[in-house]
């Protein structure tokens, strides 16, 4: 192998940690160095990244509404190119469900010239609430991820020795049906919670205009000249909320808060991570 590439979209850092852990395990097994392609910020998605047949790409994204984030999906399709490159697809999810996100990610990779060797869906703490899976991934998740990466490495070694490459991997349930529509968020009343246009607000007593939110917004929607505002698209990733050193940003939209309350009421039970190799 030439290199192990850790490729991820990770606004709050959860997905990056999982992808890098898997890439490092592959590196140890295959004896190839790890390099990263962080697609989180707009400037990182300006150019196409091409990977060769001797590379291995570990590609990860969070799950938004049961799918690959819809505003990131076209860019993912545009900026990655494989040349028969072996790939592992990873999605993270916030303790509700990964739904169709893993199947969709694997489809995208295959369409872009990658040979998918394995797929994983890893439960992580939910970015909407500290009450939902606060300790995930836990020790069991990390151990399972390590074992999954080791199994994938064994398959990759086998193909390098001339053994037949396995068919593209799919989670069994999603393999039988097309990728489902995006999940409809619900409020505490069980009705659809419509917060598509919701944006974070800024507590001006806490904001010192440090510009951290400007630097971490994956959509480039916070202007440097007025960092207390969000003038462009907001994908509710919580990067500006979670990473603000002064805790100056938060959401006040009633529909959004109702959805968070519904998640806290119904999805605090431990969800299972899933591994396919």
pLDDT digits (tens, 9 = 90+) for 60-71: 999 999 999 999
Q: Which residue do the tokens 């709050």 mark?
A: 12
pLDDT digits (tens, 9 = 90+) for 11-29: 999 999 999 999 999 999 9
The reported pLDDT for the residue numbered 172 is: 44
pLDDT digits (tens, 9 = 90+) for 104-148: 999 999 999 999 989 999 999 999 999 999 999 999 999 999 999
Model confidence band, residue 182 (pLDDT cutoffs 50, 70, 90): very high
Spatial distance between the Cα atoms of 190 and 116, rounded to a whole number of angstroms? 38
Model confidence band, residue 277 (pLDDT cutoffs 50, 70, 90): confident
Model confidence band, residue 178 (pLDDT cutoffs 50, 70, 90): confident
In this prediction, residues 17-46 reach a mean pLDDT of 97
The reported pLDDT for the residue numbered 175 is: 43
Model confidence band, residue 233 (pLDDT cutoffs 50, 70, 90): very high
Model confidence band, residue 59 (pLDDT cutoffs 50, 70, 90): very high
Q: Structure tokens of 180?
A: 């489902």
**139-160 helix and 14-30 helix, angle to the nearest 10 degrees:** 40
31, 73, 158 from 14: Cα distances, Å: 25, 18, 31
Class of domain 201-252: alpha beta
Query: Is it the case that residue 165 has pLDDT exceeding 80?
Result: no
In this prediction, residues 154-168 reach a mean pLDDT of 74
Query: Is it the case that residue 234 has pLDDT exceeding 70?
Result: yes
What kind of fold does domain 4-181+272-276 have according to CATH? Rossmann fold (3.40.50)
Spatial distance between the Cα atoms of 50 and 125, rounded to a whole number of angstroms? 32
- Start-end of H helices in the chain: 14-30, 73-79, 101-111, 139-160, 172-175, 212-216, 239-242, 254-266
Spatial distance between the Cα atoms of 157 and 186, rounded to a whole number of angstroms? 45
Q: Does the fold of domain 201-252 match that of domain 4-181+272-276?
A: no
The reported pLDDT for the residue numbered 157 is: 87
Spatial distance between the Cα atoms of 127 and 129, rounded to a whole number of angstroms? 6
Model confidence band, residue 171 (pLDDT cutoffs 50, 70, 90): low
Model confidence band, residue 7 (pLDDT cutoffs 50, 70, 90): very high
Q: Where are the domains of the chain?
A: 4-181+272-276, 201-252
Residue-averaged pLDDT of the chain: 94
Spatial distance between the Cα atoms of 63 and 274, rounded to a whole number of angstroms? 14
Residue 206 preceded by cis peptide, ω within 30: no
């Amino acid at each position: 192998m030439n290199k192990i590439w850790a490729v991820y979209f990770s606004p709050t850092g959860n997905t990056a940690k999982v992808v890098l852990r898997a890439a490092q395990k592959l590196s140890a097994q295959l004896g190839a160095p790890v390099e990263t392609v962080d697609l989180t910020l707009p400037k990182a998605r300006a150019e196409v990244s091409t990977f060769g047949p001797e590379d291995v790409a570990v590609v990860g994204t969070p799950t938004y509404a049961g799918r690959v984030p819809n505003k990131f999906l076209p860019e993912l399709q545009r900026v990655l190119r494989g040349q028969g490159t072996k790939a592992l697809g990873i999605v993270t999810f916030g303790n509700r469900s990964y739904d169709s996100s893993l199947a969709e990610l694997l489809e995208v990779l295959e369409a872009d010239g990658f040979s998918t060797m394995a797929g994983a869906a890893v439960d992580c703490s939910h970015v909407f609430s500290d009450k939902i899976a606060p300790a995930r991934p836990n020790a069991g998740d990390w151990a399972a991820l390590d074992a999954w990466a080791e199994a994938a490495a064994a398959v990759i070694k086998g193909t390098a020795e001339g053994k037949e490459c396995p068919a593209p991997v799919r989670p069994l349930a999603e393999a039988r049906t097309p990728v489902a529509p995006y999940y409809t968020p619900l409020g505490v009343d069980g009705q659809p919670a419509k917060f598509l246009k919701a944006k974070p607000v800024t507590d001006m007593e806490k904001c010192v205009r440090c510009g951290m939110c400007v630097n971490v917004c994956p959509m480039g929607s916070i202007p440097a000249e007025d960092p207390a505002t969000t003038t462009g698209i907001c994908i509710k990733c919580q990067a500006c909320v979670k990473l603000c050193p002064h805790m100056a940003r938060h959401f006040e939209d009633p529909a959004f808060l109702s959805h968070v309350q519904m998640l806290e009421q119904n999805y605090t039970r431990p969800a299972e991570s899933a591994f396919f190799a």
